[in-house]
Amino acid sequence: MSNPAAALPTTPDILNEDTPLPSYLARHMNLGFNSDDVTALINSIDSSQSTQSPGFAQLPAELLLEVLEYVPVDHILEWRLVCRGFRDAIDGRVLYHHLHRTELIGYLGPRHVQPMHILTAEQYEKWHLMRARFSHVEDESAERADLPRSKSVWSGTYAVFQVEDNWSQDWQNSNKILSGDDNTPEVAALRWSAIQRLELRRASEGFESLRWCIRLGHAVLDLAFPLEAERDQFLFGVNLARGKIRVAWRDMLFGFLKTEASLRRLMEKKQESMFTYSHTEDCLRAIRRQRLQASLNVEEKVDRHIKWSLRLLPPLFGKPRDNHTVPLEDIENEATALLLLLRREAAMTPQQIASLQQLAVDYETMKEEISELDTAFREFKSHLSLSGLTWSASLPMLSVEQHPRNPIAWPDQVLKDIEDLVRKWKSQKKVVSQMKMLLNSSNLAMTLPEDSFDNISSDF
């Protein structure tokens, strides 16, 4: 009698990138899963088929499905492999729950590049990021009356995001804000450049250029790798005139979750490794390069050249650098800096952000008061200048340096220094105010002419 177990397919104990998969698992690779995902699937199947009953209490299935909504975004796909119930819940209401928390961020480009250079620092900080929040889900039946309506709220194919009203209103009035009632060529070029960039009407400045990114929870990543009209990975349409964005939300979220999970695993793997920039930045650059390189078609000449340029980028994780300089390096530096800033913001609580913003306000107020005190003291010294007399006394001043307007971008050491300065200023605020009042009064008295009191009627 033949052994039935001999007819069952066998799987290797250890899977790696070079191990061929059996046919009943190979189809999963076409969905974008790697060997780690397949290993997790096999382990979950083995554990689910265990004949031994667990010795600990089990939570009801309803509670477990509620817990899934609070699983960190970089772990959610692993839970999807546990069982069919988890998979169906994650593909349905859990993803829809995350969609409500998703934010799309459009990037207008660096300030030093035309035509953004016409903006002041305050205007650039206000406009260079366009944020859009989830509005609703729709499908083809929303546009065609002959198609049946979907039943579940998350069964729609497309998600619609609405641009923030403050940004839209300021952008619509940008002509008046920047140039009064005149529509100058510089302002027209700025508006047209933003439309072309955000609506993907023209090719990007470089293959690694960052135009749109997605924020969900503590994570921020590129919306797609790459995001170009001729390399569409999923439907993505922007209409700045209406302030709406339409995107195939499932493809977008699955790609985002897979990339964030890969970034987490790489950061865990490289925890003890040397780094070129920093631990987080090296891992983020490595994942972006990996995803961008995977999107290239080696049969195309342009893509082969891009792949060659990607290999010339500075090596990561402490490896020595060659004397190669490629244009993609500046583009990668710009994109990585913005992503790290947005990820730092996403990791903060609203209370922490509010505290930083208040610190920035106090810092600006401190600089204004110090500047006014310095001006008053300089004027006071000018009134005491006599022939042959050298004024050597100076007013002790706090060292005030220029820093980014966004306090979230302040490095840790700069943040600590500013906190110390503001704390000292607040403790001496009363003394500074009295000094300023005394100097202003003295300056007013010394600016009066010598005969100012001659006509005053007095017995003395």
> How is the chain split into domains, by residue range?
99-139+153-347, 350-385+397-445
- How high is the pLDDT of residue 6? 46
- How high is the pLDDT of residue 12? 47
Cβ atoms of 245 and 277 within 8 Å: the answer is no
- How high is the pLDDT of residue 279? 92
- How high is the pLDDT of residue 268? 93
- How high is the pLDDT of residue 202? 76
Name 257's Cβ contacts closer than 8 Å, sequence gap at least 6: 73, 74, 76, 77
The whole-number mean pLDDT for each consecutive block of 10 residues of the chain, a chain of 460 residues, reads 46 53 57 64 64 67 82 90 86 92 93 83 87 89 54 85 87 68 74 85 75 93 79 82 91 93 94 90 93 85 86 88 81 92 94 93 88 81 64 56 85 91 88 83 73 56
Long-range CB pairs of 285-290, under 8 A, 24+ apart, other chains included: 285/313, 285/316, 285/332, 285/336, 286/316, 286/317, 287/259, 287/262, 287/263, 288/208, 288/222, 288/225, 288/332, 288/335, 288/336, 289/313, 290/262
Q: What is the pTM of this model?
A: 0.78
Cβ atoms of 405 and 122 within 8 Å: the answer is yes
Task: Transcribe 399-411 into DSSP letters.
Answer: ------SSGGGS-
- How high is the pLDDT of residue 431? 84
